[in-house]
C-alpha cells in the first residue's frame, strides 16, 4: 500500500492535527497538507503562502487537540495562547466561546465583516457550496452595546441577504442565541 493511500485513509479516520506559529500578532500555518485540510474545513484566510488563523480559530483547534501553537521554540498551552492573544484582541475569549459553541453544533463558522464580534455562519453541509446564511453578532452579558452599532449591523445583514443572530455570552460562559429581524426595519426607516 502506498504512503498516499495510507495518508488518505488516516485523514478519513481521524481529524488531522498540525502546528501554527504566533508571529507578529498573527497565527500562521505553514505546512501545506495541514493548511489544505484547514481550508477545506473552513478555517483561516490565505495570505500569500500562509494560512492565517483568527485567535478564536486557534483557541478552538488547540482545545480540540488539533493544533500545536508555537511562539518561537515555546509551545503554548490554551491558557498561554489566550494570554498572548488578549492584548491583540481583547474580545478573543468571548469570540472563542461563541465559535466553539457553533463548531461543536456542526456549523462552519468564518470571520465576519464590519464592527463587533461577528461571524458568518453556514448551514450544516453547505460550506463551499452556498453562501453563508447567517451573520452572527456576539455580545457579552453586561457589556453595553450602542443601538446605533446594532442598527448598522442589521442594515449590513439586510443588504447582504443574511439572517441575523445575536449570540449572548452569559457570565458562566454559556451562549444563548436570538434571531433579530422584525422591528429593526421600522427603526431604519424612521431615521
- pLDDT tens track, the chain, 191 positions: 444 444 444 444 455 789 999 999 999 999 888 999 999 888 999 999 999 999 999 999 999 999 999 999 999 999 999 999 999 999 899 999 999 999 999 888 888 766 555 888 888 887 878 888 888 888 888 888 787 877 777 777 676 777 888 889 998 999 999 887 655 444 444 44
Residue labelled with grid coordinates 457553533: 102
Give pLDDT, residue 80: 96
Give pLDDT, residue 122: 86
Give pLDDT, residue 181: 65
The angle formed by the CA atoms of residues 96, 100 and 105, to the nearest 5 degrees, is: 155
Domains of the chain (ranges plus CATH)? 3-85 (3.40.1170.20), 92-190 (3.40.1350.150)
Give pLDDT, residue 116: 57
Dihedral angle, C-alpha 14, 98, 119, 12, nearest 10 °: 10
Give pLDDT, residue 15: 56
User: What does the alpha-carbon distance between residue 86 and residue 168 come to, in Å, rounded to a whole number?
Assistant: 19
Task: Report DSSP letters for 66-104, one per residue.
Answer: -EEEEETTEEEPHHHHHHHHTTT-TTHHHHHHHHHHHHH
User: What does the alpha-carbon distance between residue 145 and residue 151 come to, in Å, rounded to a whole number?
Assistant: 11
Give pLDDT, residue 114: 61
Give pLDDT, residue 3: 41
Amino acid at each position: 500500500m502506498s504512503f498516499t493511500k495510507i495518508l488518505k485513509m488516516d485523514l478519513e479516520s481521524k481529524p488531522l492535527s498540525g502546528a501554527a506559529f504566533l508571529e507578529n500578532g498573527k497565527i500562521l500555518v505553514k505546512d501545506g497538507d495541514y493548511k489544505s485540510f484547514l481550508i477545506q474545513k473552513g478555517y483561516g484566510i490565505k495570505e500569500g503562502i500562509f494560512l492565517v488563523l483568527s485567535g478564536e480559530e486557534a483557541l478552538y483547534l488547540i482545545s480540540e487537540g488539533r493544533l500545536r501553537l508555537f511562539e518561537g521554540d515555546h509551545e503554548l498551552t490554551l491558557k498561554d495562547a489566550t494570554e498572548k492573544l488578549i492584548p491583540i484582541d481583547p474580545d478573543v475569549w468571548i469570540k472563542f466561546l461563541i465559535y466553539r459553541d457553533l463548531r461543536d453544533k456542526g456549523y462552519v463558522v468564518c470571520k465576519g465583516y464590519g464592527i463587533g464580534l461577528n461571524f458568518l455562519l453556514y448551514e450544516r453541509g453547505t460550506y463551499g457550496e452556498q453562501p453563508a446564511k447567517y451573520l452572527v453578532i456576539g455580545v457579552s452579558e453586561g457589556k453595553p452595546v450602542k443601538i446605533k452599532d446594532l442598527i448598522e449591523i442589521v442594515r449590513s445583514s439586510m443588504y447582504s441577504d443574511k439572517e441575523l443572530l445575536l449570540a449572548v455570552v452569559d457570565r458562566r460562559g454559556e451562549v444563548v442565541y436570538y434571531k433579530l429581524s422584525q422591528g429593526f426595519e421600522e427603526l431604519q426607516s424612521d431615521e
